Amino acid sequence: MDNIGSASNDSSKGEIAQHSAQENRIPKIVVVGGGAGGLELATKLGKKFGKKKQAEIVLIDRSTTHLWKPLLHELAVGTMDEGVDAVSYRGHAIANYFHFRVGNMTGIDREARQVILAPMRDEDGVEFLPSTRINYDYLVVALGSISNDFNTPGVKEHCIFLDSPTQAHRFRNKLLNAFLRIQRLPENHDNVRIAIVGGGATGVELSAELHHAVAEFHNYGFSAVSNEQLKVTLVEAGARILPALPERISTAAHKELITIGVDVKLNTTITAATGHSLETKEGESIEADLFVWAAGIKVPDFMKDIGGLETNRINQLHVNEFLQTTRDPNIFAIGDCAEFIQPDGKRVPPRAQAAHQMASTCYKNLVALLNNKPLQGYVYKDHGSLISLSNYSTVGNLMGNLSSGSLFIEGHLARFVYVSLYRMHQVAIHGLIKTGLVMLASRINRWLRPRLKLH
């Protein structure tokens, strides 16, 4: 297998080297998607090749800033300020010797080795940049994923998908408006009813964060708002929440949610959404003021068979053991948009730790290709899972060298490890010294800035 992979890539690299020599230019590596994996990869490549001008590194993303996706639930309720935690792609690119290009990929021309970007339009829909083509020698697709509504009627129109900062801002604005209504008209005794569909990590963490946020809102002039007026319903189609995690974690998280007042509905399938309610398969109507859909993921629809590449039913790109797409060894895919089948037949789950590990392997393989070295196979290592229930609790399991199997942890230790995962991501993109300074600034901001973002 190694010989086959190496032979095909050596051939491709030979063609690229010849083509590059003809044009008297260095190889060009394009990374599409600035999420956890994409930004880490572009940063490493920039430091390795961009600094010495041994290769040109280009990162493309539709946004101008990066935010760690697992933090979106905190952004949605205002307990995190993206103005502090977000990373500017342009500023980061300059500091790490790569180029940034804002844009939406719509296609791949494999024959010409070009990424096709959609026209750029302003808020009024007026085009200010035409469709663009970006040349590449090696392409890495790291687009991540979006929410999957499974074509459920009414969901797109009436539910918020908590899969981007834009959607998180939309949720926060609606939440603030609901609290303002109670504050201005307390005699109405209104409740804020929020229904969250999907008992995975996003749904569970958002449910807990909401209750923590209400307690904080009470301290910032919303004296008429209390936890008793917040009615959160968490809807899960399966027999338990957090179905992808060990049952012990699921049970602990479920117990904590019940304790803080979340109404957890199991074995409940949503068949339609309206402006005021969710309709269930059993004929029940779940009424609410805000609806959040967090029931599954998929890769954007334009990725289906893009450039003639092989994709699955949720539009993930099939990759081989080296993370190369199955039909083009010069195109890699990492993170949520890649389908990697492990030797035991299981798919690598769409988690931040998987994106981080894939970015590391992809980096090593790109370095190997440019230095005519053998490629390295990707091996997924499950280090466990942690679920943050805001300030109430954190539960999870650690796997690997800490124990022969899985070690269940909760409380302060679990919270420390959970926060450390984000710090590890910051170290990967900023380095150890700058991350230390960021942590120091974060501690100072606890005294200088409000605990909630109220705008």
DSSP state of 176: H
| 93-146 pLDDT per residue, tens | 999 999 999 999 999 999 999 999 999 888 888 888 889 999 999 999 999 999
**What's this model's pTM, rounded to 2 decimal places?**
0.86
Per-residue pLDDT at 402 exceeds 50: no
**pLDDT for the residue 403:** 39
**What CATH number should be reported for the domain holding residue 229?**
3.50.50.60
Mean pLDDT in residue range 1-25: 46
Give the closest residue to 41 by CA, choosing from 455, 334, 259: 334
Q: How confident is the model at residue 352 (pLDDT cuts 50, 70, 90)?
A: confident
Burial of residue 455 (CB within 10 Å: 0-12, 13-18, 19+) is: exposed
| 249-259 pLDDT per residue, tens | 899 889 989 99
Angle, nearest 10°, between helix axes 247-260 and 201-217? Answer: 30
Per-residue pLDDT at 7 exceeds 60: no
Per-residue pLDDT at 398 exceeds 70: no
**pLDDT for the residue 186:** 64
Do 200 and 262 fall within a single domain? yes
385 φψ region: left (φ > 0), alpha (ψ -120 to 50), beta (else): beta
Q: Is 298 helix (H, G, I), strand (E, B) or coil?
A: strand
Per-residue pLDDT at 17 exceeds 50: no
| 54-98 pLDDT per residue, tens | 999 999 999 999 998 888 988 888 877 777 788 999 999 999 999
Do 279 and 309 fall within a single domain? no
Q: Strands of 33-119 (E only): list them.
A: 56-61, 65-66, 87-88, 99-102, 105-109, 114-117
**pLDDT for the residue 334:** 98
Q: How confident is the model at residue 18 (pLDDT cuts 50, 70, 90)?
A: very low
Per-residue pLDDT at 445 exceeds 80: no
Do 9 and 141 fall within a single domain? yes
Per-residue pLDDT at 362 exceeds 90: yes
Alpha helices, DSSP H, located in 185-324: 201-217, 247-260
By mean pLDDT, which of 294-298, 362-366, 402-406, 429-433 is the weakest?
402-406
Amino acid at 256: E
Does residue 271 fall inside a structural domain? yes
131 vs 113: CA distance, rounded Å: 16
* 95: Cβ contacts below 8 Å, ≥ 6 apart: none
Do 288 and 193 fall within a single domain? yes
From the centroid of its chain, how far is CA 234?
21
What is the widest separation between alpha-carbon atoms in the chain?
Answer: 77
Bridge partners, 234 (sequence order): 196, 264
Token pair recorded at residue 212:
């923590």
Give the closest residue to 376 by CA, choosing from 320, 326, 429: 320
Q: Is 390 helix (H, G, I), strand (E, B) or coil?
A: coil
From residue 330, how far is each of 28, 147, 277 by CA, in Å? 11, 28, 48
| 177-236 pLDDT per residue, tens | 888 888 877 666 678 899 999 999 899 999 988 988 887 777 777 777 777 888 999 999
Per-residue pLDDT at 406 exceeds 60: no
Q: In which domain, by residue range, is 424 found?
A: 384-448
Do 6 and 141 fall within a single domain? yes
Does residue 70 fall inside a structural domain? yes
| 283-295 pLDDT per residue, tens | 999 999 999 999 9
Is residue 213 within 8 A of residue 79, CB to CB? The reply is yes
Per-residue pLDDT at 381 exceeds 60: yes
* 66: Cβ contacts below 8 Å, ≥ 6 apart: 34, 35, 39, 86, 87, 89, 92
Give the closest residue to 455 by CA, choosing from 75, 123, 86, 186: 75
Do 279 and 193 fall within a single domain? yes
Strands 160-161 and 290-293: parallel
Kindly report the average pLDDT of the chain as a whole number.
86
Do 439 and 391 fall within a single domain? yes
Do 209 and 266 fall within a single domain? yes
Query: 75-84, 326-335, 380-389 — which one is most confidently predicted on average?
Result: 326-335
